[in-house]
Amino acid sequence: MSSRRRLPDAAPYIIVGAGVHGLSTAWRLAEELRARGRGDGRDVLVLDKTGVAAGASGIACGVIRNNYFQPAMRRLMAHSVAVWESDPQAFSYHPVGYLQAACESMRDGAVAVHAEQQAIGYGSDLVEGAAECRSYLRDLFGDWQAPGITSVLHEHRGGYADNRASMRGLAGKAEAAGVRIAGGVRVTGFDLDSGAVRAVETDHGRVRCDQVVVAVGPWIRDLWAMLDLPDTVTVRSPDGQTSAESAMWRYLLLQEGTLGVDPGVFTDARGDSPPVMHVDSDAPLHDEDGELLTDEPWGIYYKPDFAVDGVQGGTVPLRVGTPTADVAVDPYGPASAEFTVDEEFPRMWTAALAHCHRRFEGRRHLYRDERSGGLGCFTPDSFPVFDSFRQNAYVIADSNHGYKMIGVGALAARELLGEPQDLLAPFRFDRYERGDLHPTSNSPFPWS
């Protein structure tokens, strides 16, 4: 799927990163160029230091949802879900839906999200009240047993996709449109002339360009520095009265793993594939030996996944501060071996599964001790930045929302061709200085 052949001396459009954003932008840009009579996929070159899905997109849990407290995120996700639905086979997409079961502190947020989903035509059901939620969940799962749930928001669209298979499908669409994907090519810098990027410097030579797209997921800190952009940013409060300096990038360690059971054991009461489950709870959580793990609010997500032959999911990520330069360059490679799941994660996550479903009781010993999750690179407010810098450098900084946002590529392609997109406007870099920040929920997850 990738080539190590000699790079061309020039390419009108260079895209750095062969994950979900780089590949979707390349595919859609090639289509837009041809449709407008302004070129075709041969004008688009994708560079990746390893290859397709070698980073975050290839290790993602693959959940696709619209459950966001922020209106701008909901609209953007509705657009992306439609792209997943456009070719489920190519994208290895499973449209099983998404269900959030939450405690009372999350109830108002669930009500607001449901109302706004209805306003944009995104179908979901809302259930309120402890007795009503228990009945709904017991009808869906005969072994449901988690107490204290007072809201259920069940999205009937969304679901999950097989991460690597979906990226191969996306790469296939890009290559069918004429895009060249060059793997094994590391970007080492940018030739900045009069404030614009004139060429991309790589370990395989220099390539001149008219436009460059940086779509590198957790590697963004280093490419951002190569563009000579600031490592701190002024974040103004929404009322405009106060401001503070913040690091532009921070790293959180994702906590994800797999329970090694037959994924076929996790079905709904009808024997069908269940929705992707997300549970936010404030009930005390005990392990299978009866020891109290936490009496603070906690959250988990999980799904049966035949691609990994188990039940896969995760919980709230851990902040790890600022990794070393080597880790930031390759947060999924050997230098990042110390950044794996916390030693308490398997105990907590398997206990939470058993807290919710009787079928998972006594299964902690089946947890697989293998790499999952990885590092996520987050912006100051934990939401994406989509914007142009240095005149012709378009940055897609997903703040770890990346995999599910497959639709960003089509929008970015239009912006590259001079058509600003309303769905991306709320995610400009200057929102920090303006204090135009996204609202935050009571969720323990930074991406909600």
CATH code of 418's domain: 3.50.50.60
Contact criterion met (CB below 8 Å) for 6 and 142: no
Enclosing domain of residue 232: 1-81+160-238+380-436
Structure confidence at residue 237 (pLDDT): 85
Q: Is residue 274 part of a domain?
A: no
Instruction: Answer yes or no: is 38 within a domain.
Output: yes
Whether residue 375 lies inside any domain: the answer is: no
Percent of the chain with pLDDT over 90: 77
pLDDT at residue 322, rounded to an integer: 58
pLDDT digits over 55-105, tens only? 888 888 889 999 888 899 999 999 999 999 999 999 999 999 999 999 999
pLDDT for the residue numbered 1: 46
Question: What is the tally of structural domains in the chain?
Answer: 1
The per-residue pLDDT for range 213-242, each reduced to its tens digit, is 999 999 999 999 999 999 999 999 887 778
Q: Give the C-alpha separation, 34 to 16, whole Å.
A: 21
34 domain residue, yes or no:
yes
Give the model's pLDDT for residue 167. 95
Give the chain's radius of gyration (CA, Å): 22
pLDDT at 448: 62
Q: Which residues contact 268 (CB under 8 A, 6 or more apart)?
A: 140, 141, 274
pLDDT at 68: 86
Indicate the angle between helix axes 20-35 and 408-416, nearest 10 degrees. Answer: 50
Low-confidence ranges of the chain (pLDDT < 70): 1-5, 321-341, 370-373, 441-448
Q: What's the pLDDT at 373?
A: 67
> What was the pLDDT predicted at 447?
62
